Structure 1
């Protein structure tokens, strides 16, 4: 498994997302992923599954230092005291002494960015999180965060897949040396049935989903967190690492529509 080095942490490029997994389903999914070799688990306060993730980690034989755990603070809790309170709750639910990466899950129109990152940096300085970062940040927000506040951002986690062009944001991140962590990398399951991806997959004895995932992971500075709950799907995503796409494949994928945004809640920022 390749890793991305960022702000003092080593981030496995393929992780397990856990959105919409809860209870025993989530616990079993994390347990099977860890048994298969995953070492990057992504959760969040809003997912209401940090306790299940924590139980799976506690039952695993994987050493804590060999595991990367990301969690996030919800956009309604970005006041400094709320960040601290929320973080303490997340850590308790996970049953961990620290997390590896703590993210602002979504920006808020009312947030005080300097105060947000002052609090986040304190958590890092206290050793409670090894790194901090953001999710769903636009280029303007990244510019303010990195250039004006000078926050040590380890990643921007955003929706990114074969049918959503993120070239402007990715170029901005590349210029600043910040990794992009792609959520919904398989178009929430739709990649498997896309005709173009399926045709490419036939060339490589792979599925459309594996093609979509490898297209992302072939890119510099990109990690991905698909969220399969079943062990066979988790293994299929690991096997995608062995797919070798050629220039014709990449041209065909490049010709796909790039305007299919799947996640766009009412509180989302104005996208770049």
Structure 2
């Protein structure tokens, strides 16, 4: 695995749909994004597939991710749901297939659904496999089941107010890339005084500083936006170089503020 396996940043599609989603994908691809992230749960796989087909960028140049929802983890259901996703996306394969959430209370044993995930990959329906919202203990269990080098990424919530350092470090120690979702904390970064001060020094927005911070931490991220200027500035922000002092200031913002915390979430690492 190389750091370039996952094009960075990707374009997140959560809560987007219709013409807004199509235009967002086209804007992202024109701006240089080559990674599009969707999921069964988002209900927009058909629109994502249509936007990719309508774009001037060949499918082979686009890294496409989708995710299996937690109510489809029984092996037969998982495989059927992947076939449905591919049908909606109108593609023969996805580049990355993730387990969106671990099975609540281990209702479906992890060995069962991760084995099914690996079988889907062996059938050529996914180029890479991975997980999302897995804790340190769950990552260790997944490695025991699948073997080292099989999990490409763990997609988790990371932003300045939830820096998730223990889990990030554990994934990196096991050669698993971390994909940060909700990197802008649903817009909360725009109001933070520390980020605003650093942004002023660089002549950019707090969102761009946050994207530069994500890149400096060696993380992949999938910001979502409906505005062309934000889609474009999010990728350009990767060119911003933050000083050690600025990185240290942002490190102080961690307050364990978790936004994605549904009832079926696992017992999070502290």
Q: TM-score range by the shorter chain?
A: over 0.9
Change (3 A) 1:49 1:210: same
Partner of 2:172: 174
Contact 1:51 1:94 in 2 (8 A): yes
Q: Cα deviation per residue 1:34-64 (whole Å; 9 max; x = unaligned)? A: 1211100000000000011011000111122
Distance in 2, Cα, partners of 1:82 & 1:51: 20
Query: What TM-score, normalized to structure 2?
Result: 0.95
Tell me what 2:264 maps to: 267
1:46 aligns with 2:44: no
| Aligned ranges 1:75-224 → 2 under 5 Å | 75-108=70-103, 109=105, 110-150=107-147, 152-220=150-218, 222-224=219-221
SS in 1 for 2:98: strand
- How much does 1:149 deviate? 4.0
Q: Which residue matches 1:65?
A: 60
Number of paired residues?
A: 266
Does the 8 Å CA contact 2:114/2:145 hold for their aligned counterparts? no
The CA RMSD measured in Å over matched residues stands at: 1.3
Query: TM-score, length-normalised on structure 1?
Result: 0.94
Q: Which whole-Å CA distance do the structure 2 matches of 1:111 and 1:142 have between them?
A: 16
Alignment partner of 1:249: what SS? helix
The one of 212, 227, 230 aligned to 2:227? 230
Q: Please list the CA deviations of residues 207-232 of structure 1 after superposition, one character each: whole Å capped at 9, or x if unmatched.
A: 10111111011113x10001012211
| 1:134-161 residue CA offsets vs partner (Å, 9 max, x unmatched) | 0000011110110244271110000001
Matched residue, 1:240? 237
**Are positions 1:11 and 2:9 aligned together?**
no
